[in-house]
Amino acid sequence: MKNVGQARRALVVLAIALATGMSVVAACGSPSDNAEPPGAAPAVSDPHAGHVSAPPAAPLRAGERFQSLSMPAAYTPQAPNGGTDEYRCFLIDPKLTKTAYLTGSQFLPQNAAIVHHAIFFRIAPGAADQARKLDADSPGEGWTCFGDSGVNGDAWVASWAPGANETLLAPNLGYPMPPGSMVVMQVHYNLLATGGRPGGADQSSIRLRINDDTAAMTALQTGLLPAPIELPCTAGESGPLCDRSAAVADVGKRFGDDIGGTEDQLIRQCNKGNPPVAGVTQHCDHKVPQAATVYAVAGHMHLLGRSIKIELNPGTAGAKTLLDVPNYNFDDQAIRPLDTPVALKPGDTLRVTCTHDAALRGLLPQLKGSAPRYVVWGDGTSDEMCLGLVVMTAASRG
């Protein structure tokens, strides 16, 4: 998608299962089980509840094997720069001696009270030394990594967030893993409950589903569709961070210039040079650069999210809605496989639209007591995101 490289460094993500025909064994209920009336406040719950004990994985299929990877040692997160979030990357060697495909995964958060989400990046053999140097040069286990892993050419191959457990791809779809590839486990630790103070140690792990029979496999890719967030304080709120400039600067202070600059970059990209307009709903159009086929979609926001939608060619005779979540629930971020895969043509438009609600800041236990702020894109749990995902394979890849 157009100009998403920089925004990708600001991802907080999401429960992704990547293919047609997949199933997700989830610890939370389905959207129909947890439906809420329009305008109702989301159910108040612990965002990490229900994900401590994972159910058994589905049986192995032809050509598959399990491989379990764990953080090298326990790590006690500490939020830097006066914030309440830490993103930590841990380098793991799956010891692959030949090309294999990742067809599924099951993340096991060891300290679920502080694990907000996790993303797994494939590190190409040629970049392994860079990853090792990042690890060696940082004190303690792993290294701080807001955004992506910080390693050149990394590729997102697995993830976990509330609402997903085992991600199981269709048997012939997956992510290629060349021999000598490394894996970076990026864990987002949320320390809101302790005010940013250490909340205990964690040694999470993941069980990968690997297929060594590469002849019949088709490689997948994930398209990222970010949009800005320009959510002002409510009429009853006041404070220094209700000023947009101060709020943007605060994100940069907590997460660095790359993350702090994401909102203004998205405004330039999505608003076509026009200045930001404060409001509860924002959207962004992304041009499709090449032919592709979409198999599944997902949406990601944080605790102030109300609704999210992904549309293909909106406002035209051939418009299609690929994702419509009118009552967003942070505890249900599982993938939505499409009933029928959708073909994309070069020049098509994919639009992501998000609605947020600042009034939820005073209703949710996780955010009560937090300072009122003009909310923009940021990596923290008390910041926000608007991110659509399209799981697809390019037509040229078969």
198-232, pLDDT tens digit by residue?
A: 889 999 999 999 999 888 888 887 788 999 999 99
State the helix-helix crossing angle for 244-255 and 262-270, rounded to 10 degrees.
120
For domain 5-214, give the CATH number. Answer: 2.60.120.310
Beta strands in 259-304, from DSSP E residues, in sequence order = 281-287, 292-300
The two beta strands, 173-177 and 218-219, are parallel
Maximum Cα interatomic distance, the chain, rounded to a whole number of Å: 61
Question: How far is CA 24 from its chain centroid?
Answer: 16
51-82 pLDDT tens trace = 445 568 889 999 999 999 999 999 999 888 88
Q: Where are the domains of the chain?
A: 5-214, 221-397
Whole-angstrom distance, CA of residue 258 vs CA of residue 148: 11
Residue 49: predicted pLDDT: 39
- pLDDT beyond 60 at 36: no
Of 228, 229, 227, 231, the closest CA to residue 374 belongs to 231
Q: Do domains 5-214 and 221-397 have the same CATH topology?
A: yes
Over its C-alpha atoms, the chain yields an Rg (Å, rounded) of 20
**Cβ-based neighbour number of residue 352 at 10 Å:** 28
DSSP code of residue 375: B
pLDDT class of 394 with cuts at 50, 70, 90: low
What is the mean pLDDT of the segment spanning 105-116?
89
246-262 pLDDT tens trace = 999 999 999 888 889 99
Tokens of residue 110, six digits: 């060891």
Residue 389: predicted pLDDT: 87
Tokens of residue 309, six digits: 């939608």
Residue 298: predicted pLDDT: 87
């944080």: which residue's tokens? Answer: 302
Residue 322 contacts residue 262 (beta carbons within 8 Å): no
**Element (H or E) spanning 218, and its range?**
strand 218-219
Rounded (5°) CA angle 68-71-72: 110
Return the bridge partners of 218, or none.
173
Residue 395: predicted pLDDT: 53
Residue 53: predicted pLDDT: 52
- State the sign of the Cα–Cα–Cα–Cα dihedral 231, 48, 17, 42: negative
Residue 356 contacts residue 228 (beta carbons within 8 Å): no
Fold (CATH) for 221-397? Jelly Rolls (2.60.120)
